[in-house]
């Protein structure tokens, strides 16, 4: 078993996620283009960095959109996580490339000729920044709502990125305000430019770190382990979770769990409990590719531990 969803529901869920991600991408592309056009007019390099960042991150979004389409066609699970690993490798290198580009832009901003920005673009900077903040706030809320509704981790993460972009736009707003009240104090503009660049660089390195962690097949987090144990303990017949082993590879999680139940339970009942728990774990925990549940009679773990202690005492 690989989850309890039906093909029709899975297809509809993928269609909703795809449509929402496309809307997010189109809005972000438009904002990126507007920012680059305004940079050309105002010579404000903060808009250059923001515009390049918005347009550059459309590349991994397109890759995610492609892999989302692949997963909706239901390949076997090893293929699905094979595609995901290829996507992770791509994201790792792309993050490092964008971080390098941001460093080059920051170097140019710090070492180039320091000239005051055209003060007449101050009010326009404020107005454009406010529009960008409002649009991104509504977009982030919409994507988050859809992501929670269809339980899409991809959309929830995308909404987080959108909100981070809205936070960066606040720096654009600050830039416009300082252009109005202190147009000749260009050191503030340099500071704000560096701040935006550092935020984007930090985001790139964070994405690269997550990619490396996934590629190294790091063990699942303690939160995942706690969630699996909680799901098991919610089954009335389960008296004790005696063992839990989790393995991760390429983002996929394999679960091997041992539970203890009534010693007088029939084999049929034990099979029913194990099968039901496997299905609940796979549907309730993200990225579980395989779940195996072993059933022992209550007291097995205690007897085993006592036996090991007796053997140790004899030796």
In DSSP terms, which residues pair with 288 in a beta bridge? 253
The two counts, helices (H) then strands (E), for the chain are 10, 3
The owner of tokens 């190294």 is 216
DSSP states of 253-313: EEEEEEEEE-TT--HHHHHHHHHHHHHHHHHHSTTEEEEEEEEEETTHHHHHHHHHHHHHH
Helix/strand/coil for 241:
strand
Tokens describing residue 16: 């909703």
> Using an 8 Å Cβ cutoff, are 7 and 74 in contact?
yes
The owner of tokens 């935006």 is 196
Tokens describing residue 135: 């649009």
Query: Across the beta sheet with 288-297, what order do the strands follow?
Result: 240-249, 252-261, 288-297
Q: Distance between terminal CA atoms of the chain? A: 45
What is the distance between the alpha carbons of residues 240 and 223, in angstroms, rounded to a whole number?
Answer: 19
Instruction: Give the architecture (CATH level 2) of 222-314.
Output: 2-Layer Sandwich (3.30)
> Using an 8 Å Cβ cutoff, are 70 and 240 in contact?
no
> Using an 8 Å Cβ cutoff, are 242 and 260 in contact?
yes
Tokens describing residue 293: 């549940």
What is the distance between the alpha carbons of residues 249 and 216, in angstroms, rounded to a whole number?
Answer: 8
DSSP state of 73: T
What is the distance between the alpha carbons of residues 84 and 80, in angstroms, rounded to a whole number?
Answer: 6
In DSSP terms, which residues pair with 248 in a beta bridge? 253
In DSSP terms, which residues pair with 244 in a beta bridge? 257
Q: What is the mean pLDDT of each run of 10 residues along the chain (315 residues)?
A: 47 77 91 92 83 82 69 49 62 77 76 67 89 94 86 72 82 83 72 78 79 67 84 89 78 83 89 91 82 88 70 60
What is the distance between the alpha carbons of residues 201 and 315, in angstroms, rounded to a whole number?
Answer: 59
Angle at Cα 201 formed by Cα 34 and Cα 138, nearest 5°? 45
> Using an 8 Å Cβ cutoff, are 288 and 248 in contact?
no
According to DSSP, the β-strands at 240-249 and 288-297 are unpaired
Domain spans in the chain, listed from the N-terminal domain onward? 7-215, 222-314
In DSSP terms, which residues pair with 118 in a beta bridge? none
Q: Give the count of beta carbons closer than 10 Å to the beta carbon of residue 297.
A: 14
Report H helices in 112-152: 122-150
């Amino acid at each position: 078993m690989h989850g309890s969803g039906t093909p029709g529901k899975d297809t509809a869920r993928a269609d909703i996620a795809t449509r929402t991600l496309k809307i997010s991408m189109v809005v972000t592309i438009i904002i990126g283009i507007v920012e680059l056009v305004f940079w050309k007019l105002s010579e404000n390099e903060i808009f250059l960095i923001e515009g390049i960042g918005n347009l550059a991150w459309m590349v991994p979004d397109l890759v995610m959109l492609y892999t989302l389409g692949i997963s909706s066609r239901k390949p076997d699970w090893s293929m699905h996580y094979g595609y995901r690993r290829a996507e992770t490798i791509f994201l790792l290198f792309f993050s490092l490339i964008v971080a390098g580009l941001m460093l080059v832009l920051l170097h140019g901003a710090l070492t180039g000729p320091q000239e005051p920005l055209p003060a007449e673009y101050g009010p326009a900077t404020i107005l454009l920044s406010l529009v960008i903040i409002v649009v991104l706030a509504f977009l982030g809320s919409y994507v988050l709502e859809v992501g929670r509704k269809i339980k899409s981790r991809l959309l929830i993460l995308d909404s987080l990125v959108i909100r981070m972009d809205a936070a960066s736009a606040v720096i654009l707003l600050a830039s416009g305000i300082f252009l109005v009240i202190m147009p000749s104090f260009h050191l503030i503009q340099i500071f704000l430019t560096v701040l935006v660049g550092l935020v984007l660089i930090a985001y790139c390195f964070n994405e690269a770190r997550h990619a490396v962690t996934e590629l190294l097949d790091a063990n699942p987090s303690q939160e995942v382990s706690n969630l699996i144990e909680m799901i098991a303990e919610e089954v009335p017949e389960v008296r004790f979770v005696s063992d839990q082993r989790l393995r991760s590879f390429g983002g996929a999680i394999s679960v091997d769990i041992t539970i203890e139940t009534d010693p007088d339970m029939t084999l049929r009942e034990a099979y029913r409990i194990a099968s039901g728990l496997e299905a609940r774990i796979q549907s309730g925990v993200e990225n579980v590719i395989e779940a195996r549940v072993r059933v022992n009679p209550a007291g097995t773990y205690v007897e085993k531990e006592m036996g090991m202690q007796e053997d140790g005492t004899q030796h």
